[in-house]
Amino acid sequence: MKHLSLATVFAAVSGLVVVWVAGWALDVETSYRYFLAYWGLFFACTGVIDGITHETTRAVAASRTDGKQGRANPWRLGATLGGVALALVAVCGLFFMGAIVPPDPSAATALLAFGLLSYAFQAVLSGVLSGAGLWSRYAALVALDSGVRLVLALLTLALGGGLREFLLITVIGALSWIAILAAAPVRVTLDVDRATFVRRVVSAMAASGASAALITGFPTAVSAAFPDDPETSLTVAAIANAVMLTRAPVLMPLQRFQSALVVRFVEKRERIYAALAAPIGAVLTLGVVGFAAAWLIGPWILRLAFKPELFVAGLTLGLLTFASAFMGMLMITGVAVLALEKHAFYVAGWVVATLTAFAVLFLAPWGVATAVIVALFAGPIAGALVHLAGLVK
């Protein structure tokens, strides 16, 4: 578990550095905004696929704990999901990618399709390693995924690369599973049959898709809620950049620890509220500390490390950081209901959170910053209440 902790810290830092490098390498009003939208789109899509990670983790861990052995094969389902993702992206990219990455929609579509096909297998391996308790190997997967992006981003900046290179950097980490699996194959059993596994994965994907839209796809939604015009373009880019920066220190490590939390809640299902208290308390405490730090030193960091066009006031940075802790709380309550096999409440919580946040974002008569902040508090609170209702016995 120590290795996983180090790997998640490295992943969080690497993600921040990649975004920072892109901010200097690309034009703020156009290419950088398109990069953030594409980055958010890719990780929102991978978030949907992560449903198979969560259910595979639960099924493998439960099989180890209870001794049940079903006939489900996560690799076969992963291949199917990857093929479906490739086909959907190929078709949808023809119609929508021109609005997301106008300068290079063809390359963006091809890279996204390839990345999601590969990520489907990476998601399966993540679930297998986590459920089997092979934390060192899972940590290696996390570190390699992030490290590849970091190295290529720095090389791209040094060599003067542009938007297409950063599109490639976004998806390239999805190949990491090949190296980890080739180094040492692993065999596990799941506790369910094929039909049950497929049904639960689809349910988990529905919830993880809603969570991905709210977590990683949110910058893309901000761009859609406030269309391009001379008065809002820079503000949208600056707020989207601030959202990415302020949530990374809290949510990126927590996303990597979700599999460990699934195992924790499966093992402590009879004392679920006690098991919830520590991680929720930790993430909210981190949010309070982050609020103060972002308010006090955030503006100084932005002035020092980013272009002037991306500056955001300290109070806004602090509130966005604190909001990320509430998003973390929602992730934890979601993992808890999933571990207890309350799949309907798991899906409902994330759907309610996403609809609430997007309703505020698109319908509230406020400016960009206020709408984003309120949306990022309102959505997670509504969703967490649904999850907690599902834990009542």
Tokens 């990683």, residue? 216
d(CA 320, CA 376): 8
CB count, 10 Å around CB of 38?
24
Question: In the numeric block, which tokens belong to residue 237?
Answer: 């880019």
Q: What is the pLDDT of residue 228?
A: 62
User: For the chain, which ranges sit under pLDDT 70?
Assistant: 1-2, 227-231, 248-249, 252-253, 255-256, 259, 393
Whole-number Å distance between alpha carbons of 143 and 148: 8
Contact of 237 with 36, CB cutoff 8 Å? yes
Q: What is the pLDDT of residue 140?
A: 94
- Would you tell me the crossing angle of helices 33-66 and 163-172 to the nearest 10 degrees? 0
The 10 Å Cβ neighbour count of residue 186 is 13
Alpha-carbon distance of 156 to 96, in angstroms, equals: 27
Alpha-carbon distances, residue 326 vs 41, 181, 198, 215, 378 (angstroms): 22, 35, 30, 11, 9
Q: Distances in Å between the alpha carbon of 146 and those of 26, 46, 49, 95?
A: 21, 14, 18, 30
Q: Tell me what pLDDT residue 1 has.
A: 62
> What pLDDT does 221 receive?
81
Burial of residue 64 (CB within 10 Å: 0-12, 13-18, 19+) is middle
Task: Yes or no: say if 217 and 44 are a contact pair by the CB < 8 Å rule.
Answer: yes
Task: Please give the model's pTM, rounded to 2 decimal places.
Answer: 0.79
Dist CA 268 CA 335 (whole Å): 13
pLDDT of residue 156: 95
Would you kindly state where each structural domain of the chain is located, as residue ranges? 2-390
Contact, 264 vs 60, CB < 8 A?
no
Could you give the count of Cα atoms lying within 13 Å of 231 in the half-sphere of its Cβ?
Answer: 3
pLDDT in the model for residue 381: 95
Alpha-carbon distance 231 to 236, whole Å?
10
For residue 223, what is the enclosing H or E element?
helix 218-225
Exposed (0-12), middle (13-18) or buried (19+): which is 290, by Cβ within 10 Å? buried
For the four alpha carbons of 232, 238, 241 and 246, in that order, the dihedral sign comes to negative
Do 201 and 343 touch, CB atoms closer than 8 A? no
Long-range contacts of 274-279 (CB under 8 A, 24+ apart): 275/336, 276/332, 276/333, 276/336, 276/391, 279/332
